[in-house]
Structure 1
Amino acid sequence: GGDQVLIARAQEIPVVYLMSLYADFPPSIIAKADSGIKTAQDLKGKQVGLPLYGTNLMAVKAIIKRAGLEEKDVNLVDIGYTQIPSLVEGKVDAVVGFANNEPVKLKAMGIAINKINSWDYFSLVGHGLISGEEKIASNPQQVKRLVRASLKGLEYALANPEKTFEICLKYLPELGEEQKEQERQVLRLSMVLWENEYTREHGLGHSAPEDWVDSQRLMMELGLISKETPVEKFLNLSFLP
């Protein structure tokens, strides 16, 4: 994710973001519809389950911050990657997962949910294709081929969602019919996250420099990075068409 790029750069690790895969940051806070949790402000005094590291932790801290709450207002509980059973069994009031994954599985179980999306609270950059300065300098043609191939794959999937899903099924022969329908929905929701207003204007795979500025500012506020890096040092979209 973009957050990991910024953490690496703050530690002088020369990684470079080449294209976006998720145009929007995918983590969301998910609660049962009857929980009374509809907005981030409703999380005050609640237990939120998640793995206490990585992108999910970054997302919930950022949502809490932008909602005007303090971290002490919300009880973050380490549940690893057991979001679905932890929520279903009532071990926590809400969980942090991906907007294109856990909601699909919960709805398939007949559980109505409310969802608090990251992108409604901040412009943190989503997951993308990343390389290193050394690789880019030593073999730019290979990097270009990788970027163009990745972009071609995204474009094909968006234009042919059902054919794309059939290709995916070749690598998941064990899926039953019910699971297939769930995974079809996961793929379709993933595709929604590949595009946003910025990519529709500038092209698939592009990433807004101002979102990186906002991301760094937010991560500085959260104490996740100790310094900012000029965006042009780690954002290189020149390999896109």
Structure 2
Amino acid sequence: MHRLAVILFLSATLMIAGCGATPAATPTAPATGAPPAESAAPRSVVMGFPYIPNVQFAHFYLADAKGYYAAEGLNVSFDYNFETDVVQRVAQGTLQFALASGDSVLLARSQGLPVVTVMTNSQKFPSVLFSKQEANITTPKDLTRDGVTVGIPGRFGASWIGLLALLYAEQIPVETVNIQEIGFTQVAAVSEGKVTVAMGYGNNEPIQLERQGIPVNVIRIADYFPLASDGLITNERLIADDADTVRKFVRATLRGMADVIADPDAAFTIALDYIPELKGADQSTQDLQRAVLQATLNYWQSDKTPTEGLGFCDETNWRETYTFLRESGLLATDVDITKAFTNQFIRE
């Protein structure tokens, strides 16, 4: 598990509702953007997502639909796949941009892959532990009680990294926790009593349980350890050779993010045109995903957002994440974290 080739595959992923589905690989994007403001031919770029079309990508959809990318002279298409795939493709230059977690970036750079985070997507790491209120699981120490079982999809991804970081922060030996690998069945496993508590995403599984009328307790990983969460990544070569394209893409995406925060209902309606399965879904499914989007907004922001702005990369989070990965044996070599992220494009 500590070999880097394996760990890169098992690195933490973006907060995604209902993980486990097979991503679509075909780029999609409705041609709804306004024409570019400049007369020059638009610069074509591909944005890679580590999951299928989802409301949590609404800021990208809105930036496209409102013509923010086009106004910057960009012709953007969207591609959907796994996180390890998009990281590799950004490193190779076949994708210009993608979303990936901070630990994925550090692990990739330890293997010599020239990927850089140029904008933070989620200021708070989204993984949480959730359980029925009646189980009285309210602190990390409760996980070590006799009879308590902790369900995770598997020893990979954001759930696994988040759980390890929580135990690391609280100095709880992992062997003292009864961990059960349950696949992507967390909601059913908790509601049916197959496990006491499960790892999931704060903007997904707990919401599903509450909508079933089940009161829940939630332990947020971000309250105990400042993991560097998902962000927009690109290639060092693109920054060196075409920084203006990076600048324009970041600027337009941040405009979209601000608009989603300002009017999530309007953003949800726009996002439906980019998510065919959701647009054709019943009202209860759409209402659930609307709630997912609303809950997502909290993760995009932090106490530093009013002063540092949306997209800010917090060096403290990166340093803490690096230390955790090194001391846990998940990262086998030193990495210069100052080259793993930059704030230059959100400040221009």
Q: Please tell me the TM-score bracket, short chain as reference.
A: over 0.9
Partner of 1:197: 303
Structure 2 matches for 1:1-241, cutoff 5 A?
A: 1-44=101-144, 45=146, 46-51=148-153, 52-170=155-273, 171=275, 172-240=278-346, 241=348
After TM superposition, the structure 1 stretch with the greater mean CA deviation from structure 2, 164-173 or 103-112, is 164-173
Structure 1 runs (4+) greater than 6 angstroms displaced? none
Question: How many residue pairs align between the two structures?
Answer: 241
Shift of 1:215: 1.0
* Structure 1 position 107, deviation (Å): 0.5
Say whether the 8 Å CA contact 1:19–1:207 is kept in structure 2: yes
Distance in structure 2 (CA, Å) of the matches to 1:218 and 1:148: 32
C-alpha separation between the residues in 2 aligned to 1:173 and 1:121? 37
Residue 202 (structure 1) shift = 0.7
Asked if 2 retains the 8 angstrom alpha-carbon contact of 1:198 and 1:207, the reply is no
RMSD: 1.4
Using the size of structure 2 for normalisation, the TM-score is 0.67
Structure with greater helix percent: 1
Which has more radius of gyration?
A: 2
CA distance in 2 between counterparts of 1:199 and 1:73 reads: 37
CA–CA distance in structure 2, aligned partners of residues 141 and 43 of structure 1: 49
* Separation (CA, whole Å) in 2 of partners of 1:5 and 1:47: 31
Q: Distance in 1 between matches of 2:258 and 2:124?
A: 17
Specify every segment of 5 or more residues in structure 1 that has no aligned partner in the other structure, as ranges. Answer: none
- Give CA deviations for 1:137-166 in whole Å, capped at 9, x if unaligned: 232222222212211110110111111111
* Contact in 2 for aligned 1:30/1:95 (Cα 8 Å): yes
- How far 1:73 sits from its partner (Å)? 0.7
3-state DSSP of counterpart to 1:167:
helix
Percent of aligned pairs with the same residue? 33
Judge conservation of contact 1:29–1:96 (CA < 8 Å) in 2: yes
**Distance in 2 separating the partners of 1:80 and 1:133:** 36
Q: Runs of 5+ in structure 2 lacking a partner?
A: 1-100
User: 1:62 corresponds to which letter in structure 2?
Assistant: A
**Offset, 1:221:** 2.0
1:119 counterpart SS class = helix
The answer to whether the 8 Å contact 1:195/1:204 transfers is yes
Asked which structure has the greater RCO (Cα within 8 Å, sep 6+), the reply is 1
Distance 2:132 2:108 in 1: 36
